[in-house]
């Protein structure tokens, strides 16, 4: 037996198999590999090199949160101008078809409808004319018509030149448009939706998308309430709801569910 050098493997001639039949068999099994000479390492070395057994700690399974679920025909995520208009239109169509039971729900993460809407805007009322033709009688907050457009070319920090109207493309003219608070328009649309018995859930952010086994969208999960910044449940904890529907319309900001 030779004395072992820790860095290099030691070949003990006694353990090398010199039987030619074994050598041939090895060569046939894997022609590309050179013949392998095996050697048992001393027991002491094995003990030192052995990786320590991983310590497996028992992890307590997280308790399943019991969630209430509600079913609708359509869920609309986001109560901005688009979501509320869709809800109003769907209910108008359902009522016209004699299907008053057709349930539409809007979840809005803002504490109230309009709370998250950037306000100052000039709007063209064509879509509103189609959606609610008698919006004037119904008190829509479109009270300030745009009467004049002025376009200026800024030559420098102190000088500008007025661009003649005839050079301004048609879509940039605001004739017939209204200067509004879009937040107020959204609040008013929410009232119109409520009158049509849309189920309105302000203060309920959709937190996650729920899927069926076949990958189709089943609805959304609203956010849990009463969760501390470290993720732990506070005494006020209230689990989010599973809102399920045949159709889910995403009318929130496009980056919400990336």
Ligand X SMILES: Cc1cc2nc3c(=O)[nH]c(=O)nc-3n(C[C@H](O)[C@H](O)[C@H](O)COP(=O)(O)OP(=O)(O)OC[C@H]3O[C@@H](n4cnc5c(N)ncnc54)[C@H](O)[C@@H]3O)c2cc1C
Which residue ranges make up the site for ligand X (CB under 6 A)?
A: 77-83, 107-110, 116-118, 121-123, 182, 205-206, 251-253, 256
**Closer CB to ligand X, 107 or 193, in the complex:** 107
**Closer CB to ligand X, 79 or 219, in the complex:** 79
**Closer CB to ligand X, 26 or 122, in the complex:** 122
Task: Tell me the closest approach of the beta carbon of residue 54 to ligand X, in angstroms.
Answer: 40
Task: Tell me the closest approach of the beta carbon of residue 233 to ligand X, in angstroms.
Answer: 21
Task: Tell me the closest approach of the beta carbon of residue 151 to ligand X, in angstroms.
Answer: 15
Task: Tell me the closest approach of the beta carbon of residue 120 to ligand X, in angstroms.
Answer: 7
Task: Tell me the closest approach of the beta carbon of residue 78 to ligand X, in angstroms.
Answer: 3
**Closer CB to ligand X, 26 or 92, in the complex:** 92
**Closer CB to ligand X, 26 or 199, in the complex:** 199
From residue 191, how far is each of 105, 110, 112, 185 by CA, in Å?
14, 16, 11, 10
∠ CA(115), CA(117), CA(123), 5° rounding? 135
């Amino acid at each position: 037996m030779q004395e072992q050098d820790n860095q290099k493997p030691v070949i003990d001639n006694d353990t090398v198999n010199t039987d030619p039949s074994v050598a041939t068999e090895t060569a046939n099994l894997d022609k590309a590999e050179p013949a392998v000479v095996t050697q048992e390492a001393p027991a002491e070395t094995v003990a030192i090199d052995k990786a320590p057994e991983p310590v497996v700690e028992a992890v307590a399974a997280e308790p399943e949160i019991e969630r209430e679920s509600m079913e609708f025909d359509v869920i609309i995520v986001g109560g901005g101008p688009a979501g509320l208009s869709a809800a109003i239109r769907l209910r108008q169509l359902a009522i016209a078809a004699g299907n008053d039971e057709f349930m539409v729900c809007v979840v809005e993460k803002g504490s109230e409808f309009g709370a998250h809407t950037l306000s100052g805007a000039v709007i063209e009322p064509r879509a509103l004319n189609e959606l609610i033709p008698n919006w004037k009688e119904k008190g829509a907050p479109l009270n300030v018509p745009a009467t004049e457009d002025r376009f200026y070319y800024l030559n420098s920090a102190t000088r500008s030149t007025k661009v003649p109207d005839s050079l301004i493309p048609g879509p940039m003219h605001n004739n017939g448009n209204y200067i509004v608070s879009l937040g107020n328009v959204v609040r008013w649309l929410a009232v119109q939706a409520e009158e049509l018995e849309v189920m309105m859930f302000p203060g309920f952010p959709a937190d996650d998308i729920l899927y069926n086994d076949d990958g189709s969208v089943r609805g959304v999960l609203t956010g849990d309430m009463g969760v501390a910044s470290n993720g732990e449940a506070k005494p006020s904890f209230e689990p989010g709801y599973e809102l399920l529907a045949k159709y889910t319309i995403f009318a929130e900001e496009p980056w919400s569910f990336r």
